[in-house]
Amino acid sequence: MVVVNTTNHGGSNAHFVDALAAADPSGRLQAALAAGTRPDPQMTEALVARCAVEPDFFVRDMLTWALCRLPAEITVPRLVHELGSDTAQARSQALHTLSKIGDRLAWPAVSALVHDEHDEVARSAWRAAAALVPPGDEAALASDLATELGRGDRQMQLSLSRALAGLGDVVLPVLDVAAASPDPRIRAHAEATQQLCHDPDSGFTVSLEVAKRVAAAGPDM
């Protein structure tokens, strides 16, 4: 077990940064755990910077937890700034962390990324947008997200469907329109999302595959 002192005295800050970059993922995990156990605002920059490059999912999740333990007035502006990064993982992980913090001050910056060209960033933006949308803006967000229907593989489409379903009944009229699209992929995705909204325990994969077959066969099936 690696013990890391995150209190910023002398060279401990540099030691912490080194620990976050250790070759062994378990060492990096312990460093992130220590940062969350003993929150120090001076560690914010190091934690955010590591999120952008950390290859291990579990370490990234611990980094997010550590950031959530810090004051939002410090972390949120830094994470919003990170949304402008050229690195897709930096944007994606910042979105994920912002969704966990739950501060709606990040909403304008988050909503601007729901059409990001990088799939993982877009998925993170959909989830974050659904979590942070201000009351009363759900219908507008539903309309915006619906323009992404049909994008990507099954996991990508499931992420969008869950984000849409999380917005409540305001999404149903939007899905009705999308279900009449001339594009069979959009129709199939909209119909599978409708099923998910009506029955959250339904099998999304089965619904999507059935909808795809119906859409491909055309209206005379």
At 59-85, the pLDDT tens digits run: 999 999 999 999 999 999 999 999 999
Asked if 97 and 62 count as a contact pair (C-beta separation under 8 A), the reply is no
Helix (H, G, I), strand (E, B) or coil at 25: helix
Buried b (16+ CB within 10 A) or exposed e, 76-111: bebbbebbebeebbbbbbbbbbbbebebeebbebbb
Q: State the Cα–Cα distance between residues 221 and 205, nearest whole angstrom.
A: 21
Residue 47 lies in a domain: no
Residue 147 lies in a domain: yes
- CA torsion sign for 8, 35, 46, 112 is negative
Question: Tens digits of per-residue pLDDT, 134-155?
Answer: 999 999 999 999 999 999 999 9
Residue 59 lies in a domain: no
Residue 220 lies in a domain: yes
Question: Tens digits of per-residue pLDDT, 12-56?
Answer: 677 888 999 999 999 999 999 999 999 999 999 999 999 999 999
Asked whether residue 165 carries a pLDDT value surpassing 80, the answer given is: yes
Residue 90 lies in a domain: no
108 DSSP assignment: H
Angle of CA points 158, 161, 162, to nearest 5°: 85
- Around Cβ 118, how many Cβ atoms within 10 Å? 15
Question: Rg of the chain over CA atoms, in angstroms?
Answer: 20
Asked whether residue 159 carries a pLDDT value surpassing 60, the answer given is: yes
Residue 205 lies in a domain: yes
Per-residue confidence at 218, pLDDT binned at 50, 70, 90?
low
pLDDT (0 to 100) of residue 1: 42
Residue 202 lies in a domain: yes
Asked whether residue 4 carries a pLDDT value surpassing 70, the answer given is: no
Going by C-alpha positions, the residue among 75, 77, 87, 81 that lies closest to residue 120 is 87
Residue 109 lies in a domain: no
In this structure, the dihedral spanned by the alpha carbons of residues 172, 176, 177 and 179, taken in order and rounded to 10 degrees, is 130
Question: Tens digits of per-residue pLDDT, 75-132?
Answer: 999 999 999 999 999 999 999 999 999 999 999 999 999 999 999 999 999 999 999 9
Asked whether residue 221 carries a pLDDT value surpassing 70, the answer given is: no
Provide the domain limits for residue 159. 138-221
Q: How many domains does the chain have?
A: 1
